[in-house]
Structure formats: C-alpha cells, structure tokens
Structure 1
Amino acid sequence: MEPLTRFISADDHVIEHPRVWTDRLSRRRWGDRIPHIERDGDGSDYWLIDGRKMPLLGSGSAAALMPDRAEPRKWEEMPPAAYQPPERLKLMDTSGVERSVLYPSVAGVGGETFAPIEDPELERDCVRAYNDWLIEEWAAAAPRFVPQCIVPTSSVAVAADEIRRAVAAGHRGVVFPPAIDQLRNAPHINEPSWDLLWSVCEELQVPICFHAGSLSMLELAPYEQYSSEIKAALHDIARPACSIGFLSNLLMSRILERHPRLTVIFGEISLGWVNFVIETVEHNVRQFGAGKVKFEVEPRELLKAQCRFISWYDDTSLQAVCNQFGADCVLWAWNFPNAMSEYPEAPKLNEAHFRNLGLEARSK
C-alpha cells in the first residue's frame, strides 16, 4: 500500500509570546493585571495574569523541540518554531503536515486561563487579544494555519457575541473548557442557558472543541516524590481519561439531541477509552433506565454523527474505533510542539499506526 506523505493535523499548539497581551490591552486601564512575563528568584520565568502566577514550565509545552524533551524554563530558551509562524512552517514541510489546527497554551489548552478573572471586562479583553493575535500573526502568515477562538465565560451572551466576532474575523472553531462551573460561578454546562452557545456554533457551522487537560482537578495528583519527568508522564497518561466523564455526560445530557447540527471535537484524548464509554453508557441505560430513559437518537448514533476524536499514537484502539464508528470519527494530530508529539518521526510512525486500516480509512 502506498505510504501517506501529506497530513492534516487537527491538534497543534501555539506558544503565546510575551507581547500578545501587553501590545493589545490598555496599560492605562489594566496596569500589571495584563498578562505578562516576570522572572522568579530561581531564574525561571512565569506568567503573571491578574495576580495569578503561571510558571512558564506549565503554561505550554515546547519539549518536542528541546534536548532530551526538557521544557524551557526561561523565555530565551523557547525554540522559535514554538511561537514564530515562518519557523513552524519549515518543520511542517519536513514532517508532511499540510494544515495545522491551532489550540492555545498560555490561554489554556481548553481556553480556561482567563475564566477565573472576576472582572468581566478584563476577561473579555484578554480573550479578544488572544483571538486577534492568532488571526494577525498566524492565520495571516499562511492559510495552512487553522485558527480557533477562545471565549469569555462571564455570561453566555458575552460568549456568543465573541464567537460571532471571532468567526467573522476568520476563526474556524471554538475552544471551550468542559466544566466551566468548576472555574467560576457559572451554570453547569447541561443547563439550558448554554443552549445559545451551541446554537451559535450550529448557525456559524463551526465545531466546539474540548481539549484534554484543561481542568487539572479532574486528575489524580502525582506522588510528590516523583521526578518532574515522571510527573509529566503521569499527567499525560491521566488527562485523556478525564474525558470519560465529560463524554458520558454529553451523550446523556440531550445537548446533542437538541442541537443535531453541532459537531463536538475532543482534543488530545487518544482513543482507548472511547469504546469503553459507549458500551458503559449503553449498559447503564439498559440496567438503570429501562422504560424511563428514552432517546430520540441512541447515544451510539449521537457519538457517530456528532463527535470527533483526535488520535496520534494509537494502534489497536485506532482500528477498534474505526470499526465501531467509522473513520470519519477520527482525526489525526501532530500534537506539535508538545512533548508527546511524534516529531520528527511522525510520517514513519504513522505508517505503523495506520498499517491495519483500509485505503479509504487511511486517506481520511
């Protein structure tokens, strides 16, 4: 079978440079509350966001470009391809990546960083600055970059307004934290008040994207005595599984039934748990909901029609999900420049991952 040489990556990350917000927010109005970088006493850098410290080490991964895949601790150590579009394009060429769908880093892999800001106008301005920067510096650099907006969360109406503004500017998807009620005083995502958000995404024909790892409180904390490398590995192992509860809730919540034109993308989640979720949901509906829980569309069909899952290293689970739900449900990710990215070996490794798929599934 002829090897695949060109790929569309459904999940890569930009690393926001130090001037993203300082160049776009009013210093006179917001002062030091504007997201900016400062240097700690140990020589490492951190982001300061409305008084909250975020270590550079934990606000975005560029380890795929670093020696021994160790994360940079100072901004000067950040590889140019992590934050400069022309340098990123060069590595996309050598890796066979034709298109790259972009997710945030400092702004939160799920767009969650600014949600705890209590001042709704500061949160809105931080969100808008990121969205404008992504269009101005990345989308404008090449059509091969596919921008996705983040949204303010102070109210559903404000979120919907920003989605409209951002999509009009060129954004092609919406990145949203899956458990917004755990980030701020907001309604649970199942509440009908959020229907406006889903409806706007349907109307504008943009997917809503939930990225693994946006809520660390859903994960088991690693043992304190572990090395930083082992802690990072455990984090990367655990965070895809955190999507189990969210997908289960989504299938049971009637959100997808009420919004049949809504497409939901699960970012950086791998695939091994997807069949588990649908089988468990179906079993529990039968056991505990027989005669009481009625779906106009069965959960399995909702998943198949409206959910997409991003994979990059899966082998046996890739084949299993394709067999169960079809290859249209699976998207491939370069996951660059994260430590888990298979850069620079992605084209070769993809041949191994895709080896058991038929030609049609491989081409998708």
Structure 2
Amino acid sequence: MPLQDHHQIVSVDDHLIEHPRVWQERLPEALKERGPRIIEKDGKHQWAYDGNIYPTIGLNAVAGKPPAEWGLDPFRYEQMVPGCYDPVERVKDMDTDGVQAALCFPSFPGFGGNIFHRASDKDLALLCVQAWNDFNVDEWCAAAPDRLIPMCIIPMWDIGLAVEEVRRAAAKGARTLTFPDSPVPLGLPSFHNDAWEPFWTACEETDMVVSLHFGSSGHVPGYSFSTMQAVPGQMTMPDAPFAVAIALFATNLMWSTVDLLFSGVLQRHPNLRFSLAEGGIGWIPYILERCDFVWDRHRHYMHNIDFDARPSDLFRKHMWECFIDDEFGVRNLDVIGADKVMLEIDFPHSDSNWPNSRRRAAEVLATVPDDVVTAITETNARELFRFPRVG
C-alpha cells in the first residue's frame, strides 16, 4: 500500500553538520582557541581542534547534488544546503522530503564522539562533549521540539564520567546516546568486559536508548574514517577502493550484534535497548539463524555462553533495526519481525534519497499492510525514543 497522508515518517538516522560557533559559544574564553573552530585553509573550511586540523568530508553533505559531483574533498559551508547546519532550514528540508521527525547524529566529533576520545587534553574534551550535548538539546532540537529528537555523546574514555553525562543529558531531555559500534578500536573494553556495567545500568535507569551507528568506532571494513585510507590487516584487500568499504558498511553492525548477543549484557540488563543505525535489515534472518545454530551446538562446553537465553530471543527483545532502502529486508519482514523495524533517511549523506525519500519509501513498502507501514515509518520509532506526536 502506498504511503498515505496519515503515515508520518520519523527518521532514526539523519546527521547534522555543526555550525562554526557550536564550541566557540560554549567553551570558557581561555579555551576557545584550542576548542573546535573553523579555519580557512587552501580555500576550504576545516576544523581546528587542540593543535590538529580535521577536514570536513564532502560525502557528509551532498544533499541536493547529483552523484557525478560527489567526492571526498572538504566542503565550504556555502556549498552545502543550509539545512545541513541550520535547524530551521533543516525542518524546511524535511518538509520538502515528506519527513515529520528526525534523529540527527554528530559529524565533526565522529558518529560516536571518537574525536574527543582521541584528544590528548581530556579536560578540554569533556567540556567539548558537554558543549555538543547542550547545543543539540538547547539549540538544534529546541528550534523544533516536535520535529527533532534529542541525542547525546559521552566521554567514553572514563566510564564514571560517561555515567555522569548520561544522567546529565537525560535530565536535559536526551532520548538516546550514540555509542561506538565497537569500543575496541578506540582502546576501550569490549562488550564482553564487565567494566561497562555501571554505564549499562545508567542507560537502563534513565531509559536512554543506546544507538550504535556503523563506523562510530572510527573504522569501517578495511578503512579508517580519520585518514580515509586502507587499514592493513583488516578484512578487505589493502588496495581496495573506498567503494568496497561503503558496500560493507552493514557488517560493522553484524559484528556488534553478535558480540552483544553472546556477551551476557542483555541478560543482566533486561531493560536495555539498542538501535542499530544504518545497518540495514536484510542480513538479520541469516545472522539470527546462525547464532541460534551455534548456541544450540556449542553452549554446552563454553562456560561463558548463557545456557538458557537463545540469541534470537535476545535480539527480538533488545534490538531495534532500521533501513534506508532495503527491498530484500522488507520482503522478509515476517522473519525479521516488523515491530522493531524503523525507517532512516540519512540526510544529508550520500545514501539518502532526499528530496524523494517519501516517494522511495512508498515504493519499497508498496506491498506492506497499512498497519505495518505505520509501525515502520513512525510508531516503532516514537515508542522507542519516547517522542509522541504533537497535535
């Protein structure tokens, strides 16, 4: 059934491009020079932060441009549509696209805030994390509180500080936090390590959804987001073009999901909820079948595997999934389960169908019953992120 007027689209994975004043307006005067700021270099806008220069990646802001003009070169702000960095203009772009509400991940800090994790001055980094969270809740989302869903990043290098920031951001109104799809590339304990227990507890107690966005660890298959170069020893060939990594983006979340299903975290925290951002859904039936197969045959001698909790049952209780354009996944909703599937638009990135997202969603969901379309486009996301309709 095509999308009707009563079908509102809630995108659970969009992105914002931080405007140049985000940190300059929020850091103490003495720290502004070392805090994130935009500089001009070779006619391009780039971020300067604590003595380092970071490019703005063109694929982060290609909305409105034909694919033939895409590239990885840094952009200037005037080359982007204003909705990339201006929340008022963003809402106009959402209206053009037929999208009612959106959850927007960070850009300069990395999808999971890993730029600040890698910084040498952790006192400054903590203030930068808090400044981004204040910007997101008090400026970005406050510009359209019924359209933009508040989220936060955390100081993941210190679990105690992370717990404090989870509670602070939740009190401000954040509904979800973005967390690395794998902490290990950042030198942090894995999902199997009990060190994260206070953090998981804080997420449960504050009803904070943990959003795992592919690449939020700073790495995608075979590539580093920080250098945009191949990483020797990873799964893809060292001389592969970046297209190989793009095609394999979803595998980040496959790995993360299997780790979590066998970690014991989900059994110890029955109210913990995860959103798997930009991972697609077509892979889910096979992964769950395979995990159950392995669990059934191998749990008897592996004492660190739960003997009673079937992985597929844990997945269906704790994991919400989303897709941009996944026809195969939609054809298999009866196996995946539509009650936790959501839609993502990915504006202003290169996977987005903007300004034709609503039309494309209608095509992909054309054979899906009306009540299931409603769940996927809107209500699953509103219930997960506690973001009800207004009016």
After TM superposition, the score normalised by the length of structure 1 is 0.90
The answer to whether the 8 A contact 2:201-2:269 is kept is: yes
Query: What is the one-letter code of the residue matched to 1:358?
Result: P
Distance 1:238 1:325, change over 3 A: closer
Look up the match of 1:304: 316
**Secondary structure of 1:87's aligned partner:** helix
Alpha-carbon offset, residue 50 of structure 1: 2.3
Structure 2: distance between partners of 1:235 and 1:40: 28
The 5 Å alignment of 1:6-155 reads 6-28=8-30, 30=31, 32-41=33-42, 43-57=43-57, 61-68=60-67, 70=70, 73-143=75-145, 144-155=147-158
> Deviations for 1:120-154, whole angstroms, at most 9, x for unmatched residues?
21121010010001122212111210010000123
Query: What is the one-letter code of the residue matched to 1:248?
Result: V
Query: What is the one-letter code of the residue matched to 1:206?
Result: M
Is the deviation greater in 155-164 or in 273-282? 273-282
The answer to whether the 8 A contact 1:27-1:34 is kept is: no
> Deviations for 1:186-223, whole angstroms, at most 9, x for unmatched residues?
32232212111111111111210010122344412499
Is the deviation greater in 68-77 or in 147-156? 68-77
Alpha-carbon offset, residue 239 of structure 1: 1.7
Structure 2: distance between partners of 1:218 and 1:102: 20
Alpha-carbon offset, residue 67 of structure 1: 4.6
The 5 Å alignment of 1:249-288 reads 249-288=259-298
- Mapped pair 1:244 → 2:254: yes
Identity of counterpart residues, as a percentage?
Answer: 31
Alpha-carbon offset, residue 115 of structure 1: 0.9
Structure 2: distance between partners of 1:95 and 1:290: 52
Look up the match of 2:337: 326
The answer to whether the 8 A contact 2:191-2:260 is kept is: no
> Deviations for 1:301-334, whole angstroms, at most 9, x for unmatched residues?
11011101111101121231x2123212211011
Look up the match of 2:213: 211
Structure 1: distance between partners of 2:160 and 2:143: 31
**Secondary structure of 1:64's aligned partner:** coil
Counterpart among 311, 315, 322 of residue 327 in structure 2:
315
> Deviations for 1:83-137, whole angstroms, at most 9, x for unmatched residues?
1111111121122211111211112112222111233211210100100011222
**Secondary structure of 2:322's aligned partner:** strand
The answer to whether the 8 A contact 2:155-2:161 is kept is: yes
Look up the match of 2:359: 348
Query: What is the one-letter code of the residue matched to 1:330?
Result: V
**Secondary structure of 2:114's aligned partner:** coil
Structure 2: distance between partners of 1:216 and 1:191: 20
Alpha-carbon offset, residue 237 of structure 1: 1.8
Look up the match of 1:227: none
The 5 Å alignment of 1:176-215 reads 176-184=179-187, 186-215=188-217
**Secondary structure of 1:190's aligned partner:** coil
Query: What is the one-letter code of the residue matched to 2:309?
Result: V
Is the deviation greater in 11-20 or in 112-121? 112-121
Distance 1:231 1:57, change over 3 A: farther
- Mapped pair 1:162 → 2:165: yes
The answer to whether the 8 A contact 1:311-1:318 is kept is: no
Structure 2: distance between partners of 1:4 and 1:119: 51
**Secondary structure of 1:97's aligned partner:** coil
**Secondary structure of 1:159's aligned partner:** helix
Structure 1: distance between partners of 2:48 and 2:307: 47
**Secondary structure of 2:24's aligned partner:** coil
Alignment coverage as a number of residue pairs: 354
**Secondary structure of 1:118's aligned partner:** coil
RMSD: 2.2
Structure 2: distance between partners of 1:56 and 1:125: 22
> Deviations for 1:14-63, whole angstroms, at most 9, x for unmatched residues?
110111111111241x354211122333x3332122233321126x7110
Q: Which runs of 5+ in 2 are unaligned?
A: 231-239, 376-391
Alpha-carbon offset, residue 352 of structure 1: 1.5
